[in-house]
């Protein structure tokens, strides 16, 4: 069913879409122009798009000639508050904003998937739904809930997503069953002491020394209070406190993130951190406040949808081009929220460039091998065809 003769032209269109998105990036919850570009691209294909009143998400439905399963594909839309350093013709024109996480490519790929399915809709038994989600980078809230609250997956049998991955060379696919990306939670710890003259510390309670002990205490939790076979890390990324060099600090605030690959250890962490805070603060005459926000859950791929991706990807990049035991990472993705409600799978699409040293996601010089775009479309398309057939068969 795949129209191979049209692939070169589609590849060129994918690059145009991607560079256009890249040049005009918008941060989370402000993706107005991005949404307009998506709607216009779909309209040019003859596909009607649905938009929403309280966010910039876009959804489009491609119905086959016969009723059947509903297969969904999702792309994220938002860019990051990063100043681009790449010197390319499609460089971001919005100061301090950049598509540094590949979402420009994700949108282009799903537009390509929509185009391919629309061209063969008369032969399809079932429905294809393409979802363009805002605010993926807006952790710990994220934009997945915005789309789920619209009911866009109420009729879906399965959902697929992917992420451009510079750690893999172009032409390689990474995926695994079960946990592939971490839960991401946010914590804010406020430590309260009592101010005093630095020459008379006995009259105060030093919030800085309490904070230092708290940081060490977090380390002890990770190494001595959790199962060492579990994966968990807590990083304190920012510390703010103190008023003057010769004044005992009365307040310090620590901002951090917790990453886990299992729900049980995820639930344990805030309980153990709270217990540690209470002990350290009270022993030194201070106090504390803990704010712990649960964000994106663990991204767990379902078994059968993963099998469908693997089989489809092997038809595109070959048997050895697919790593089915890719090592999990502690980065997070709010696609995980879809997978808590609907069967599905998420894979990594290699986009590493051979002509430069590997750049990393979220960096100011992030760029991709654009040949990955067409590979991504072909993998998603073949996955969709297989999923329509699989879920039609098991429903009969």
Q: What is the pLDDT of residues 46-87, one digit of tens each?
A: 999 999 999 999 999 999 999 999 999 999 999 999 999 999
Place 1 in a pLDDT band, splitting at 50, 70 and 90.
very low
- Cα 66 to chain centroid distance, Å, stands at 34
How far is the C-alpha of 146 from the C-alpha of 341, rounded, in Å?
Answer: 14
Confidence label for 359 from pLDDT (cuts 50, 70 and 90): confident
Question: What is the distance in angstroms between the CA of the first residue and the CA of the last residue of the chain?
Answer: 23
For residues 274-279, average pLDDT: 98
Tens-place pLDDT, residues 28-46 = 999 999 999 999 999 999 9
Distance CA(83)–CA(77), nearest Å, equals 18
User: Which of 188, 189, 193 shows the shortest CA–CA distance to 242?
Assistant: 193
* Pair 334, 186: CB distance under 8 Å: no
CB 64 within 8 A of CB 39: no
Angle between helices 263-283 and 207-220 (to 10 degrees): 150
User: What is the model's pLDDT at position 355?
Assistant: 75
pLDDT of residue 85: 96
pLDDT class for 213, splitting at 50, 70, 90? Answer: very high
362 is in an annotated binding site: yes
145-193 pLDDT, tens digit each: 999 999 999 999 999 999 999 999 999 999 999 999 999 999 999 999 9
| Strand ranges for the chain from DSSP E | 49-51, 58-63, 66-76, 125-133, 158-169, 173-174, 178-181, 183-192, 232-241, 251-260, 287-296, 299-301, 322-323, 344-352
Average pLDDT over residues 100-122: 98
Given a contact cutoff of 8 angstroms between Cβ atoms, the answer to whether 388 and 68 are in contact is: yes
Which tokens is 56 given?
């910039």
- Residue 101 pLDDT > 90, yes or no? yes
Q: Which residues pair with 159 in a beta bridge?
A: 72, 344
What would the two tokens of residue 193 be?
A: 């002491």
Token pair in block for residue 333: 């993705």
Distance CA 255, CA 209 (A): 16
Q: Which is nearest to 70 in space by CA: 394, 393, 346, 387? A: 387
163 has binding-site annotation: yes
Q: Is the peptide bond before 140 cis (omega within 30 degrees of 0)?
A: yes
Catalytic residues: 78, 136
Q: Kindly list the structural domains of the chain, giving each domain's residue range(s) and its CATH number in brackets, ordered by start.
A: 4-181+298-395 (3.40.630.10), 183-296 (3.30.70.360)
Q: Is 59 annotated as a binding residue?
A: no
């Amino acid at each position: 069913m795949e129209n191979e003769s049209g692939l070169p032209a589609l590849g060129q269109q994918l690059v145009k879409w991607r560079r256009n998105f890249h040049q005009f990036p918008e941060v989370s919850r402000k993706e107005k122009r991005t949404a307009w570009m998506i709607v216009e691209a779909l309209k040019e294909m003859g596909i009607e798009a649905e938009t929403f009143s309280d966010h910039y998400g876009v959804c489009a439905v491609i119905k086959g000639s016969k009723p059947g399963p509903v297969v969904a594909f999702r792309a994220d839309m938002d860019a990051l508050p990063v100043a681009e350093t790449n010197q390319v013709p499609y460089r971001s024109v919005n100061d301090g904003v950049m598509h540094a996480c590949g979402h420009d490519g994700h949108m282009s790929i799903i537009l390509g998937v929509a185009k391919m399915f629309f061209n063969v809709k008369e032969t399809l038994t079932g429905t294809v739904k393409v979802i363009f989600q805002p605010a993926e980078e807006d952790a710990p809230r994220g934009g997945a809930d915005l789309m789920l609250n619209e009911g866009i997956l109420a009729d879906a049998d399965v959902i697929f997503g992917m992420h451009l991955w510079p750690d893999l060379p172009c032409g390689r696919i990474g995926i695994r069953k079960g946990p592939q990306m971490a839960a991401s939670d946010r914590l804010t710890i406020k430590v309260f002491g009592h101010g005093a003259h630095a020459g008379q510390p006995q009259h105060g309670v030093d919030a800085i020394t309490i904070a230092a002990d708290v940081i060490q205490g977090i380390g002890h939790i990770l190494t001595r209070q959790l199962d060492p076979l579990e994966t968990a890390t807590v990083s304190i990324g920012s510390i703010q406190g103190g008023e003057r060099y010769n004044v005992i600090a009365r307040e310090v605030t620590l901002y951090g993130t917790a990453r886990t690959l299992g729900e049980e250890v995820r639930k344990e962490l805030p309980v153990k951190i709270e217990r540690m805070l209470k002990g350290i603060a009270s022993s030194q005459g201070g106090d504390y406040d803990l704010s712990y926000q649960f964000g994106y859950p663990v991204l767990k791929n379902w078994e059968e949808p993963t099998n469908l991706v693997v089989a489809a990807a092997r038809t595109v990049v070959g048997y050895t081009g697919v790593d089915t035991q890719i090592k999990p990472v502690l980065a997070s993705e709010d696609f995980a929220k879809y997978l808590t409600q609907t069967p599905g799978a998420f894979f990594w699409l290699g986009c590493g460039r051979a002509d430069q040293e590997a750049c990393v996601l979220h960096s100011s010089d992030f760029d991709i091998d654009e040949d990955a775009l067409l590979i991504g479309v072909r993998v998603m398309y073949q996955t969709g065809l297989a999923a329509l057939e699989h879920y039609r068969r098991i429903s009969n």
